[in-house]
Structure 1
C-alpha cells in the first residue's frame, strides 16, 4: 500500500489528531478525512498542504506526500544519479558510496571496496539493501567488519544509536515498500525489535551531529575509525554521496 490516504492517516495518528479534529482545523466537511484516508476520494493539493501545515510536517514529509519522493526512485532516476556521481566516485582514494532517499546502496567507489576488502559477491550483496539491513543482517559482509571490541558481540550500542537516526529520518515513510522490507529485518532480531519499539516521535527525533558520525571497524585484524558526511547530488537531489575519512 502506497497511497496518499494511508500516508495522511499515518501522519494524523502520529500527531494524535482525530479525524474530526483535523477536519475542524482545516475547515473541511464532516467525513472528508475518512473518505480521503480510505481512498474513496483524492484530496486537492491545497487540502494536502492544509493538512501538512496543521500536522506540522517538515519539507521531507511533504515531499513524501506529493513530491519527488512519494515513490521509490525509478531505474532511470538511479542511472541518472550514477552518471552524476561518477566523477566523484572514481577519485583516487575516495571512500564513498551513493545512497537513494530510502538509504539504499546504489553504487560505491573502488577505493571503498578495496578499503573493506569486499569480494565482488559481497558488493552484489550490499547493493540495493538499506544501510540498516547491511549492518543488521547476520549474513552481511559489513557486519563481520565492524569492531566487536568497540560494539560488543551483539552490537547493541551501535544499533541503539543508528536505529534512532534511521527512525528520525525515515520512519515517516511508513507504508513504503523499501521501509517495510527494512522494518521486517529489524523486527526479526529480538534486540533491534526491542530498541525500535522503544522509539517515539516525541522523544527520539535525533539530530546526528558531525562529532557523532563515527564508525569503528576491524578489517583482517586492523582496527580503524572512520567519520562520515553526506552531500546531496545537485541534479538528482534525492540521492546523496556518503564520504568516509579516517578519524584520528
Structure 2
C-alpha cells in the first residue's frame, strides 16, 4: 500500500473536520469520480494521483539501483549503439548480446554470458550497456565488480561488527545479475577461493552472471581452474571479441 493509499482510508473521518466537501468530476482516463475538496477547489482524480505516486516510486527505486550498481563512471551512459562499427563478427556479437538482454528482461533463467577477447574490444562497454538497460527497463538489481574488488570488500569485513566473510560472499552471490570484470585478474591469496565461492553459489541458485576476461578459454582455465570455468560456461552465451583494440585504432587515426 502506498503512502497516499494508506492516508485515503482515513479520509472520510477527516472530511468534516477539515471543512472538505464532496465534489464530482470527470477524468479523461478513469471517467466520473468523486473526491473531497476545500470549497472553491477543483476536484482531483485520486486514481490518477495514486498512479503518479506509483510511477514516482518505481523511478526512485530505479535511480537508486543505478546509483548503487557499481558501473564505472565512464560507462554510466553506455549503450550498444555507441560502439564503433568494426566488422561483421562484432555486429553478430552485439546482436547476440542484445538478444540475451531482451530475454533476461523477461526470464531470469537465461544463463550466463562469457565475454572473451583482447583489451579495448568493448567488452566492458557492452556489459555495462546491458546492465543499464536492464535496470532502466526492468528495474533489475545489478552489481558490477571485479575479482580483485570482491576480495577487497570481503577482506574489509574481517573483524567488523555486523559484517563477516560469509555475509559478504552471500551478498555477491545474491544479486539478480552480477557482472565480474577482469575475472582472471587477482593476486595470490584468498581471491581465487572467494571467486569460486561466488561462482558456485550463483550456479547453484541459477542466477545469471556476466564474466569478462582478456584471456582465451584455455588460458582462463589455467588461471581460474577447470571447475570454476566449467560452471561459468555452463548454459552460457560465449561471445568471442576477436577484433582489434578500439583505443589503438583511435590513436592511429589521430
TM-score between the two structures when normalised by the length of structure 1: 0.26
Q: Which structure carries more relative contact order (alpha carbon 8 Å, separation 6+)?
A: 2
